[in-house]
Structure 1
């Protein structure tokens, strides 16, 4: 055996004994030497029978040694060793027989019966510690999953607060900017059209002055709801652009499809029947709308689409309001 193995075996808390098929002791660790009261040179190369009492010698010769040679192992065998002073020490022995060079060697681990209970208690303690640790780990994992779920819910609420307009509860300007950028890149790759509707309330300042800001806010909420009714797909986005201005993103929608949505939107707003006696175009709230449609490309940007819709909205107002103007 090499030095490292010898060192490990000598520090082991249990006895270790190695002997040949002709019963000569090859190695005995310090722990077993101290149990038996011998020095290493007193046992090395000697017959194993030297440390066996009469009863154990007979058992060794008639049962233990033949068992080892037949099965190459012997597990949980009880027999006694004898100290130098002649005292018997009952042992629990586990042995493995292996080929070593040109002979066979049996390596044995020996635990005094008096210490076995101690070892078993230590094993039980270790198992209990391990079980407690496993339970603690499972509990920690449950708590961690709970925290993750709570964090996910908080994150969703924060995202909603960040992306939802506080008054109308539809998408806000930030959400609109992010969605338009995403759709622009996607449709640029797919070479599919996108349309934008930009609209606001006709003579809304007059409405606020005549009816008050509280009714003005209620009017914007109803307008947002009407816009939601006018769109028909989950991919469409209605957002508050700022003040009384609103915007609708219509992905994968050409000019004809966008005009149809604009017409539905005008009807939806007028059907609300919100009184507006200070308007020059109607006795109820109406909207002016600018429409732009194009196929995104790398040569253009989302701002180009917004600018076209904004210019169209300006023309709709110049032409008398309560109508849709299409970007040229």
Structure 2
């Protein structure tokens, strides 16, 4: 009996193997690229949100500081004008204050015991008549003899509004005589800022020195005067920064989601916090994932259809080749007559090879067309990536503009609004080269207040600050549209720089600066004239001269004016 041989397993299909290889070669790189793109997008968007919340906190803090300090300066200026005995006189001045600064919902004057002397507007007849001795805005100036920005409180004379107050002491011969106070509704300085921040998808929180809520936007679960210290760790920005680095907090939003937050400590002692909800990040990643998935799907579909189309053509060509070889074997006579140069034995094979070569050439042409389609698809993907890069560049430009705005704030003296030393150096660099040599002639005018220390000792530092602000404003008015600049070089010292082309008579300009100070008519009992005066030094530098030499010359001229008796101009 013959041995039976078991049926061998059919060999694996070459087409099936090729199909799996094509799928793996297309799917794995596409999935890998998609995941890498998502990781890169997550890191990039996270850093973008952190940078944006830090910049927003810094700019918002600066805006709130500017608003509050302006109101504080107005109240301090009114207090510096002196004590008015009659209540009617104070009512008129309070009315003028509220007319000039409409954000004050009310203003009052109280004596040294906290008794209200005058208010604007007048409270209704049924309003409580208690004094303000218990109010923070009275007690702190009473102790410190300095202007003060209060924490948040609820009004009681004209309503129950959410308020903050700015107040300044009334002083006479160094004795505390009372306060001038202005109440500001919280909505006056947060409404516009909150709307702008929320339009950018962020939320705003402001707390006072006791970490009680002054204002919280709708997306944050805080109420007015609520203690926020149990959920937020408050910290000061590091030196050289306006805001703290952004950190992530979970469960901080009203809907329970987390957010990135950055804090800015204000000059008033308040803390401003900006929150960027994490929903914006996940929304961006979701849109990015949908885009990547769509692109990958189109690529895979293109590969699959191209593969299926080519496989159908390959199978058809193979079938025709087999049929041609079979036909050659069946019809050798016709074949030999067409390829007579080949031996009889090779006529069928030669014809089959010739037909196969022709069909391979046709297949190669089709393959080139398919590759061109792939190149077109790659170009489309490249255009999409370029558009994304353009969006990133636009956002980078926005951040750069915000940084430049913050840099401008860092170049300005907070007290007088003039340039500070950093701003002066940057402005001088536009008139000189890297070696400090001038491009064009300039005039430098150095001046400072005569007997300013004695003025501060007699009238107080608040009066001294007010005098410096008024002096800076008067001298700035002399510039008009001139390309010059005014800088506070330190203490009571100032430096005025103008191109000589716009000021051919430097001494006349120095005299005008001196006269501007006299016209302020600021009383100064320790001055020889009884009024505050200044000493002025003038120097001019030629093109090519070292700018530091010109500034030193102006400073030396100032000292000569001091030694010559003050209240004069020396060139």
User: Normalising TM by the smaller chain, what interval?
Assistant: 0.5 to 0.7
Q: 1:197 aligns with which of 437, 441, 445?
A: 445
User: For the residues of structure 1 that align with 2:520 and 2:499, how far apart are their CA atoms?
Assistant: 27
Tell me the equivalent position of 1:287. 534
In structure 2, runs of 5+ residues without a counterpart are 1-21, 23-305, 332-359, 365-369
Does structure 1 conserve the Cα–Cα contact (< 8 Å) formed by 2:438 and 2:542?
no
**1:257-296 deviation line (CA, Å, top 9, x unaligned):** 21222122122222222221x3333222211011111314
In structure 1, runs of 5+ residues without a counterpart are 1-10, 17-28, 47-105, 111-118
CA deviation after TM superposition for structure 1 residue 213, in Å: 0.8
Tell me the equivalent position of 1:315. 560
CA deviation after TM superposition for structure 1 residue 128, in Å: 11
Change (3 A) 1:293 1:151: same
Alignment of 1:1-328 (within 5 A): 13=307, 14=309, 30-34=314-318, 36=320, 38=322, 108=362, 138=387, 141-142=390-391, 144-145=393-394, 147-185=395-433, 192-253=440-501, 256-276=504-524, 278-297=525-544, 300-326=545-571
User: For the residues of structure 2 that align with 1:40 and 1:165, how far apart are their CA atoms?
Assistant: 94
Change (3 A) 1:15 1:152: closer
User: For the residues of structure 2 that align with 1:140 and 1:172, how far apart are their CA atoms?
Assistant: 38
CA deviation after TM superposition for structure 1 residue 304, in Å: 1.2
Specify which structure has the bigger relative contact order, considering alpha-carbon pairs within 8 angstroms and separated by 6 or more residues: 1
Tell me the equivalent position of 2:199. none
* Superposition TM-score, scaled by structure 1 size: 0.58
User: For the residues of structure 2 that align with 1:318 and 1:133, how far apart are their CA atoms?
Assistant: 74
CA deviation after TM superposition for structure 1 residue 197, in Å: 0.3
Does structure 2 conserve the Cα–Cα contact (< 8 Å) formed by 1:237 and 1:249?
yes
Aligned residues: 233
> Which one has the bigger strand percentage?
1
Does structure 1 conserve the Cα–Cα contact (< 8 Å) formed by 2:538 and 2:557?
yes
User: For the residues of structure 2 that align with 1:253 and 1:134, how far apart are their CA atoms?
Assistant: 53
User: For the residues of structure 1 that align with 2:522 and 2:318, how far apart are their CA atoms?
Assistant: 103
CA deviation after TM superposition for structure 1 residue 38, in Å: 2.1
CA deviation after TM superposition for structure 1 residue 234, in Å: 3.6
User: For the residues of structure 2 that align with 1:41 and 1:35, how far apart are their CA atoms?
Assistant: 10
Aligned residues: CA RMSD: 4.4
CA deviation after TM superposition for structure 1 residue 176, in Å: 1.4
* Superposition TM-score, scaled by structure 2 size: 0.35
**1:42-74 deviation line (CA, Å, top 9, x unaligned):** 689x9xxxxxxxxxxxxxxxxxxxxxxxxxxxx
Does structure 2 conserve the Cα–Cα contact (< 8 Å) formed by 1:170 and 1:224?
yes
User: For the residues of structure 1 that align with 2:471 and 2:478, how far apart are their CA atoms?
Assistant: 11
User: For the residues of structure 2 that align with 1:130 and 1:185, how far apart are their CA atoms?
Assistant: 47
User: For the residues of structure 2 that align with 1:30 and 1:156, how far apart are their CA atoms?
Assistant: 64
Change (3 A) 1:42 1:244: farther
